[in-house]
Homo-oligomer: A and B are copies of this chain.
Amino acid sequence: MASIKDVAKMAGVSISTVSRVINGTANVREDLSARVIEAIKTLGYHSNPLARGLKGLPTKTIGLIIPDIENPFFPAMVRGVQDVAKANGYAIFLCNTDEDAKLEEIQYSLLLEKKVDGILLVTSTSNTPFLQKKLTIPVVLLDRYVKGANLSDLSYVVVDHTFGMNLILNHLRDVGRQKTVFLGSKPITSGARERFQTFLAYHKGDPKIRSRVFFGKYTEESGFEMAEKLLKSGIDFDSVVCGNDLIAFGAIEVLEKNGINVPNDVSIVGYDDISFSLYHSPKLTTIHQPVYEIGEIASHLIIDAIEKGYSEPKHIKLEPRLVIRETSVPRSVKNANT
């Protein structure tokens, strides 16, 4: 690999001059500058960003930690992040944690070791000990926030899930579905917690509401398993609220296999509005999260923080919206006795 030294030799100048030409940090005589540029071209020289990073200068790299690359919700977010990052000359270091808190911490310190300029984090935990220390680089939380000692100075971009869950519950009431069960994830992350607590609050008159709640993971398989448990339990229900769309897919699969018609016998609402919800048949009623926007905004936030040094922490809460498709319909007279 050609180094700056080779360029200097070929152009007949010092390495300082080459550096100045490359970075435009000072004036260089016209003809020297031309010779340097010429030499760079013929040698195919690329500056070594490691040496640059060694001086404590930006590496133009952002780390992005997500819980599950196989849940389409996150790739959509990655796209938002990456588009903005690319436009600003940053590369993305993507890491997958499988919703594992321990792995999350490992990835985090790995990114720190790699001297990324900032970290975008979709956490899978409720308290993140590794964020409690004084941060050395900007960190922005996406989709899920955490409470803690020094965490008020962390920026985050989240969605108002209390609002979202109320949209669902009001919609189900509107279509005459009141015997609702909840298939979600344990309320560990802020998002899951908000949704669960809103569900509970809505049913606070019902002492047995807890028996209508099932916990699992954010996958189709888990939705499948939870729905099977639900059926075995013998609980009477006419509607299902799911923690995300994948769970809804799994649940619908089980219900239909057991001769229960969706949406007539049981209406189902998902959460996220991943693209496949539209192509799923029946098309899924769900909560649309502005996922691409989350990525975009967070990306802007962290680049700002990186380039302007310290910046006021911003707490952004976006509004989701209900997308009514085919899996939620009024109880028709024809099906009332099913």
Residues of A within 8 A of B (CB): 1, 46-51, 53-54, 59, 61, 69-70, 72, 75-76, 78-79, 82, 91-96, 107, 109-110, 112-115, 136, 220, 249-250, 252-253, 256, 275-276, 279-282
Residues of chain B lying within 8 A (CB to CB) of residue A114: 49, 59, 61, 91
Report if A282-B281 is in contact (Cβ < 8 Å); known contacts: A96-B79, A113-B46. yes
Residues of chain B lying within 8 A (CB to CB) of residue A96: 78-79, 82
With the chains together, A75 CA to B73 CA distance in Å?
12
Residues of chain B lying within 8 A (CB to CB) of residue A53: 50
With the chains together, A70 CA to B249 CA distance in Å?
18
The smallest C-beta distance from A80 to any residue of chain B, in angstroms, reads 11
Besides the contacts A48-B115, A93-B94, A276-B276, what 8 more A-B pairs have beta carbons closer than 8 Å?
A59-B114, A69-B79, A72-B72, A82-B96, A91-B114, A93-B93, A279-B280, A280-B280
Among residues of B, the one whose C-beta sits closest to the C-beta of A249 is B279
Interchain CB contact under 8 A, A92 and B94: yes
Residues of chain B lying within 8 A (CB to CB) of residue A282: 281
Interchain CB contact under 8 A, A70 and B79: yes
User: Most B CB atoms within 10 A — which of A48, A249, A281?
Assistant: A281
With the chains together, A49 CA to B281 CA distance in Å?
50
Interchain CB contact under 8 A, B54 and A51: yes
Interchain CB contact under 8 A, A220 and B275: yes
- Which 6 residue pairs are nearest across A and B when measured between Cβ atoms? A94-B94, A281-B281, A249-B279, A69-B75, A50-B53, A50-B50
The smallest C-beta distance from A122 to any residue of chain B, in angstroms, reads 15
Residues of chain B lying within 8 A (CB to CB) of residue A93: 91, 93-94
Interchain CB contact under 8 A, B92 and A95: yes
With the chains together, A51 CA to B54 CA distance in Å?
6
The smallest C-beta distance from A137 to any residue of chain B, in angstroms, reads 11
Residues of chain B lying within 8 A (CB to CB) of residue A109: 46
With the chains together, A49 CA to B49 CA distance in Å?
12
Residues of chain B lying within 8 A (CB to CB) of residue A91: 93, 95, 107, 110, 114
Interchain CB contact under 8 A, A250 and B279: yes
The smallest C-beta distance from A204 to any residue of chain B, in angstroms, reads 34
The smallest C-beta distance from A3 to any residue of chain B, in angstroms, reads 11
Residues of chain B lying within 8 A (CB to CB) of residue A76: 70
The smallest C-beta distance from A293 to any residue of chain B, in angstroms, reads 15
Residues of chain B lying within 8 A (CB to CB) of residue A72: 70, 72
With the chains together, A78 CA to B70 CA distance in Å?
9
With the chains together, A72 CA to B276 CA distance in Å?
10
The smallest C-beta distance from A103 to any residue of chain B, in angstroms, reads 8
Residues of chain B lying within 8 A (CB to CB) of residue A256: 281
Interchain CB contact under 8 A, A46 and B281: no
Contact of A54 among B54, B75, B113, B252 (CB under 8 A): B54
The smallest C-beta distance from A91 to any residue of chain B, in angstroms, reads 5
Among residues of B, the one whose C-beta sits closest to the C-beta of A276 is B276
With the chains together, A51 CA to B52 CA distance in Å?
10
Report if A49-B113 is in contact (Cβ < 8 Å); known contacts: A69-B78, A96-B82. yes
With the chains together, A54 CA to B107 CA distance in Å?
22
Residues of chain B lying within 8 A (CB to CB) of residue A220: 275, 279
